[in-house]
Amino acid sequence: MLRNILFVIGELDHYEQLAETIMALAAEWTGSAACFVRVALEKEYPACLMEWHMEINDTIVVTDRAELARKAAAKSQAVVAVLTEKNRNASFGGVMFAIEGIQNPGMDYFEKVYGRCHGIPWTILETDRCLVREIQLEDLDRLYEIYAEPSITQYMEGLYEDRAEEEQYTRDYIRNMYGFYGYGMWVVEEKKSHRLIGRAGIESGDSEETAELGYLIAKEYQRQGYATEVCEAIIKYAGDKLEFKRIVCYVEPENEASRMLCRRLGLTEREEKVRKGKRYCFYEKEFMKEFS
């Protein structure tokens, strides 16, 4: 688990601002008393790890030093690059996250950085009854159970018959889709039972400002309002947090349940569209003003 955030700064030009950032993060930290936010000069970095008993797997390094950042990332260290006027042309290859200057992006940001670097799925949002989070390989057993119901694949593709192919697809999806975009199709857990009951999420639409909604709910949990509850929250998240301006959904004409859901979600039915040779009912919602 994340226990340390260590700022390793080459030059303390902005020491006052750095001190304010550290104090704010320390005040925000809700972990145990063993959690620390500290600062060190680059030359002090190796000694600090030993002196403060910091391990690679429990520490995030936040640094403006490109070479140190690259070396730490190569060792599977969680790293955040600090971009300044002095290092604009430096190479931070292999570093997944960066912030502009010395600032406080918030503990939630650092928790997500730690999770992404150590393969821990992000929790995206919660509703009254459900938790929406990123998929992990351990979810596949339950997903194969859900997809075994014939009605689930009536209007959507199923999983790979070869389990090894599905596992590789999932690994690639986590790395490329979540890792690059920060969103995608997630899994849905019922909070009361901690049982996985479906999938829901968004993928890139026909423009950078458009998200495409998708969902499925296990047969035994259908007709209980879960799809409406989760999709409403995802639509709000897409507009509010991800700043999409439009969300769309493609539904096969015979899929009356999904067409009704789109109407309940406030999506407007437009002219039918053809995708990959199939005809779809097309729904959309623009929410730029709603979430501005």
Indicate the residue type of 87.
N
What phi and psi values does residue 175 have, to the nearest 5 degrees? Answer: -70, -45
Are residues 211 and 235 in contact, defined by beta-carbon separation less than 8 angstroms?
A: no
Give the Cα separation of 191 and 128 in Å (integer). 8
Region for residue 225 given its phi and psi (left: phi exceeds 0; alpha: psi -120 to 50; beta: otherwise): left
For the chain, give every domain's residue range: 4-117, 123-286
77 vs 226: which has the higher pLDDT: 226
Query: Sorting pLDDT into bands at 50, 70 and 90, what band is 9?
Result: confident
Q: Is the pTM of this model over 0.75?
A: yes
pLDDT higher than 50, residue 291: no
CATH of domain 123-286: 3.40.630.30
Residue recorded with tokens 């393969």: 119
64 vs 234: which has the higher pLDDT: 234
Query: Sorting pLDDT into bands at 50, 70 and 90, what band is 180?
Result: confident
pLDDT higher than 80, residue 14: no
Contacts (Cβ under 8 Å, ≥6 apart) of 257: 222
**4-117, which class in CATH?**
alpha beta
Count of alpha carbons within 13 Å of 107, Cβ hemisphere only?
Answer: 16
Tell me: the pLDDT tens digits for 97-135? 999 888 888 888 998 999 998 989 999 999 999 999 999
Tell me: the pLDDT tens digits for 130-171? 999 999 999 999 999 999 999 999 999 999 999 999 999 999
What phi and psi values does residue 150 have, to the nearest 5 degrees? Answer: -55, -35
